[in-house]
A and B are shown apart, each in its own frame.
Chain A
Amino acid sequence: MNIKEFIDNFADQFDDTDRAVFTSETKFKQLDEWSSLTALSIIAMVDDEYDVIIKGNDIINSETIQDLFEVVKNLSDNA
């Protein structure tokens, strides 16, 4: 899996945030549009695209999109 595709999939879960805002360093929980519902969309996206289930704590402990990418990559490699 690659980070560029992950960022695209991540950005797809947002309706009102400009696509250009999303980079590997984006602190996603600080985005105005971020909410508990976005978190659920992210969990569902990761399940659909990478076939792994992330925990609430994985999102809570990730600051940037890169951080979450690493979690998903680890889970996916060990699946």
Chain B
Amino acid sequence: MSQLTINNVRIAGMSACVPATVEDNLMLPIYKDQNEALKVIASTGIERHHKVEPGTTASDLTVKAVEGLLVKMNWEPQDIDCFAYVCTSRDYIAPQTACVLQDRLHLRSDCCVFDLPFGCSGWVYGMSIVGSMMSHGTFKRAILVAAETNTLNRNQRDTTVRPLFGDAATATALEFDPEHSRPMHFMYGVDGSGFEAVWAPYGGMRNPVTHEALEEKEVSPGVFRRGIDMVVNGMDVFGFAIKQPPRSLKELIETFNIDVNTVDLLLLHQANKFIDEKIRKAIKIPPEKTPYCLEEYGNVTSASIPLTMVTRCSQQLTGEEQHCVACGFGVGLAWASMEFYAGHVMIQDIITY
């Protein structure tokens, strides 16, 4: 089992930015009647999501989120030693978006910046990567962004994804602080044999963009996609999501001797309510300790755990230390679980773009 413990690093602040435009699932033109829409809402728990206007990218939302975070923290861009950008909806094929953001955010030219194109497991993976780098002690302040414009890399005429996914950017401020930090624990998992459960077949080097890959086709009744659009095979994702995340969390709990009764917050990737509730029940955490933001924002992939923290847990996280367990899971198929403590976190109110 790959496991990791990181010392000397704490979450110091968080922020989030969502686009102003809201798409309400009840009003979507993709259902035959309102009853059908209500059924989808009832089983997924997702009522609406925020959606960028054409021309706005995840990095635009990120600039707002990071600027808001820096103001809240009273940090200067020059204070940042490391900047990680978890995102699959990148601005350009090359370069990494983090490089472009270094300039836009006025980060130092010797700042360590990089992209982490993870997807749903990305915030947890990112915490472990940036946390590890910081634990050595020479990086004092870092920002971990988890941002995604899911409405841009999925077809809006694909009824299997449109009601579920939304757009958001989040920023997490990490600080080297041996005095006020407690160990963070991580477990990882991957099943590459399931990579076609969530994937974009065209646009990479294996299947380059062709004229045909840009043609929209009706792949099944009411489901339109281009070759470059993200495919989400709901049944396979579901089968994966009710099996691996509970197993991963149980491994985490066992490996690090976590007393689940002392857990204050179970922070799950906001896939859908049906899946998340199955995970919650499997590890026996009560509903009042399991916050959701998916009803309002949908599945925002890598941003979903930090968005939940910013929008639903700010009162708890700004107060005394909370014992948290988190699990991110999805595209890859990849997943990761973590245990950490967070308290006295500076949380910026949600920002609208």
What are the residues of chain A within 8 A of B39 when measuring CB–CB?
35, 37
Residues of A in contact (CB 8 Å), total: 13
Interface residues of A in 8-67 (CB under 8 A from B): 35-37, 39-40, 43-44, 47, 53-56, 59
Give the one of B40, B233, B234 with max A CB within 10 A.
B234
What are the residues of chain A within 8 A of B24 when measuring CB–CB?
none
- Quote the shortest CB–CB distance from B163 to chain A (angstroms): 11
What are the residues of chain A within 8 A of B278 when measuring CB–CB?
44
Interface size band for B: 10 to 19
User: Residue A43 contacts which of B40, B43, B160, B235 (CB distance < 8 angstroms)?
Assistant: B235
What are the residues of chain B within 8 A of A43 when measuring CB–CB?
235, 238-239, 242
Given contacts A36-B160, A37-B39, contact A47 B236 (CB under 8 A): no
Q: Which residue of A lies closest to B36 (CB)?
A: A35
Beta-carbon contact of A39 and B235 below 8 Å? yes
Whether a CB of chain A sits under 8 angstroms from the CB of B217 is no
- Quote the shortest CB–CB distance from A63 to chain B (angstroms): 16
Specify the main secondary structure of chain A where it touches its partner: helix
Whether a CB of chain A sits under 8 angstroms from the CB of B274 is yes
What are the residues of chain B within 8 A of A39 when measuring CB–CB?
234-235
Beta-carbon contact of B40 and A55 below 8 Å? no
What are the residues of chain A within 8 A of B242 when measuring CB–CB?
43-44, 47, 53
Q: How far is the CA of A36 from the CA of B36 in the complex (A)?
A: 11
User: Residue B239 contacts which of A35, A36, A53 (CB distance < 8 angstroms)?
Assistant: A53
Q: How far is the CA of A64 from the CA of B238 in the complex (A)?
A: 22
Whether a CB of chain A sits under 8 angstroms from the CB of B250 is no
- Quote the shortest CB–CB distance from B44 to chain A (angstroms): 9
Whether a CB of chain A sits under 8 angstroms from the CB of B312 is no
Which residues of B line the A interface, CB within 8 A? 39-40, 43, 160, 233-236, 238-240, 242-243, 274, 278
Interchain Cβ contacts under 8 Å between A and B, 29 examples: A35-B39, A36-B235, A37-B39, A37-B40, A37-B43, A39-B234, A40-B43, A40-B234, A40-B235, A40-B274, A43-B235, A43-B239, A43-B242, A44-B238, A44-B274, A44-B278, A47-B239, A47-B243, A53-B239, A53-B240, A53-B242, A53-B243, A54-B239, A55-B235, A55-B236, A55-B239, A56-B233, A56-B234, A56-B239
Which residues of A line the B interface, CB within 8 A? 35-37, 39-40, 43-44, 47, 53-56, 59
